[in-house]
Structure 1
Amino acid sequence: MLPALPLSISPNADTAIPAVKPAKPWLAFIFGTVFTGWGLFYAGRPRAAVSLVAGLWACLVIGGQLRIFGSMSGLSVIFGLVVLAKCISAISGAWLARRRVWRPSLRNHLFYLAGMSCTLWLLLHAAAWPYVLGFTATRIIGDGMAPTLMTGDAVSCVARSQYDLGDVVMYEHPARDLIKRIAGRGGDTVELVSGDLMLNGHNLGPFYASTQAQPYSQTFEPTPLGADQVFMLGDNRDNSRDSRFDGPVMADRIKCKVSEILYSAHQNRIGRHVD
């Protein structure tokens, strides 16, 4: 019986993996600048592209949960994170373009762009901000809170677990959401005497109101509040629809606390903290 001979397999040119055409670095740089991660995706690094986008969103969501974005400085942090992610996408994509090991098809590009469009929509759509970034932005309509807040001001509003006396808050109203100041909480008795706020018999003075208010807005009879109620007052007592007319508000209707003016027609008001 003849001994078994070792088998040898000769290389077959038909089974060789074809070389992938290198990408254009300048095109990868442009793609990475337009959409975060697109430069890396074009360079044949889809996992790196997805990881970069996921890392950006993780930073945004964590920052939102920590309530660090509801101010001008917080918006600067968001802008910085987005710019940093785009720089990483563009520069690393351009550097890796000539070492491309996988060439995405047109369909791959379209799927990636569709996904990025959805994430961009979330970032730009104000209705998603409370869940993603931890705050919402709204525009002031009316002069009920003047001079603290003026018509046309854009303000940030941050949800909190509890709200204190004097906080400017946004709450649900049958007509539309209103922004007023908390002048009394559950169990308090609220009264206006000669323009001064009397809270449980203690005189708190004008309580942010203009001292030039008209006589008809200076007096309000004693009103006891239920355990789950709050009393709202506008700083512009002469022109404010608040709890003097609508009655106390249920505490669970408060949506968020106004924290800062993000935009105003008066430049010196931008970035002002709302007290």
Structure 2
Amino acid sequence: MTNPSTADMDTPEARTDGISPRRAWRAALLSLVASGLGQLYNGQWQKGLLFFGGEVALGLGFFVVFNSFAGMLLNVVSLIALNVYALIDAAIVARRGREYRLAPYNRWWVYLLAALISLGAGQGVQLSLNAYGYESYKASSGSMIPTLLVGDRFMVEMLADGDPVRRGDVVIFYEQRSDKHFVKRVVGLPGETVSMTERRVFADGKSLDEPYLNTPVSNGVPVRDNMAPVRLGTDQYFLLGDNRDHSYDSRWLGPIRRADILGRALYVYWPGKPVAGSRFDRLGREIR
């Protein structure tokens, strides 16, 4: 009998005739590392490629579905289900197959290369989402109560330079002097004159309807409740917090440039702990 070289061996248990039984636990472990890797270990490289392709497709699908909580949740559940199915399938096939003749691709370095490709594809999708699609943020203060509670994690649609910003949008912006990101609501648009009288906000002399406010009654604090007219430039927006008594906003920061507005808040994907009630009452709530 001829003895194969050690390079032909997939595992220490590989027999000298080139036949090596598949181990269910190894197939499952490889599937945890990368979807489809367990199938490659079992000699089903076509099926493994399908699982890998499905994972990449669902990852790219985030660009389409992240604008709604339901779409995001469905995509995440589908991705988890695909990976669980790949793991179970790999373990069952390995358990049923008593003997397996090693293929040319049953090498440790091939498995490592496949795992690195899978990891790279996942990181690429994640970086693309962050750069051109969506980012998640956490509300660190109560300035937007009741729209956002302290600890709320919410999804933000990143805006391109030409994307419109509308009155009423809850946006993330970067404040250069403090080197911090803030979340506030747009109340004044470019070219408008914004003023405040006893907490009521006026844009070009017209009182705004603001049902989202936390405390709609004046508390007599002049700086917070009253403001002389401010004329906005052609690229400036006036932003205020919904919790006006506890918000550091355009009343102190001044108008915000469009270039500093980074994204629009969409929905709460993981609520912070509320003062009363269940946090899951607000799970998936749209930010309006």
Offset at 1:108? Answer: 2.2
Identity of aligned residues (%): 24
Corresponding residue pairs, total: 256
Cα distance in 1, alignment partners of residues 210 and 87 from structure 2: 57
1:116 corresponds to: 118
1:272 corresponds to: 285
Matched residue of 2:51: which SS?
helix
Cα distance in 1, alignment partners of residues 63 and 122 from structure 2: 19
Q: In the TM superposition, what whole-angstrom CA distance separates every residue of 1:133-180 from its partner, at most 9, and x where no partner exists?
A: x32111111221122212211111112422211010101112211000
Cα distance in 1, alignment partners of residues 62 and 83 from structure 2: 20
Offset at 1:121? Answer: 5.2
**1:164 alignment partner AA:** R
Greater Cα shift, 134-143 or 86-95: 86-95
Cα gap change, 1:35 to 1:256, in 2 (>3 Å)? same
1:226 aligned onto 2:233:
yes
1:9 corresponds to: none
Matches within 5 A, 1:1-275: 20-25=19-24, 27-33=26-32, 35-61=34-60, 63-66=61-64, 68-94=65-91, 97=94, 98=97, 102=103, 104-119=106-121, 129-131=129-131, 134-160=133-159, 161-174=163-176, 175=178, 176-206=180-210, 208-209=212-213, 210-215=215-220, 216=222, 217-263=224-270, 264-266=272-274, 267=279, 268-275=281-288
Say if 2:36 and 2:49, in contact at 8 Å, map to a contact too: yes
Cα distance in 1, alignment partners of residues 282 and 85 from structure 2: 35
Cα distance in 1, alignment partners of residues 92 and 34 from structure 2: 17
Cα distance in 1, alignment partners of residues 54 and 181 from structure 2: 35
Q: In the TM superposition, what whole-angstrom CA distance separates every residue of 1:59-82 from its partner, at most 9, and x where no partner exists?
A: 322x3332x224442332232222
Offset at 1:91? Answer: 4.5
Query: What do you get for the CA RMSD once the two structures are aligned?
Result: 2.9
Matched residue of 2:164: which SS?
coil
**2:236 alignment partner AA:** Q
Q: In the TM superposition, what whole-angstrom CA distance separates every residue of 1:12-71 from its partner, at most 9, and x where no partner exists?
A: x99xxx76434235643453355311211211234542442233222322x3332x2244
Offset at 1:205? Answer: 4.2
**1:248 alignment partner AA:** P
Offset at 1:223? Answer: 1.1
2:9 corresponds to: none
| Structure 2 alignment gaps of length 5 or more | 4-16
Cα distance in 2, alignment partners of residues 51 and 100 from structure 1: 22
Cα gap change, 1:206 to 1:81, in 2 (>3 Å)? closer
| Structure number with bigger Rg | 1
Cα distance in 1, alignment partners of residues 236 and 258 from structure 2: 5
Cα distance in 2, alignment partners of residues 115 and 208 from structure 1: 47
**1:179 alignment partner AA:** V
Cα gap change, 1:207 to 1:84, in 2 (>3 Å)? closer
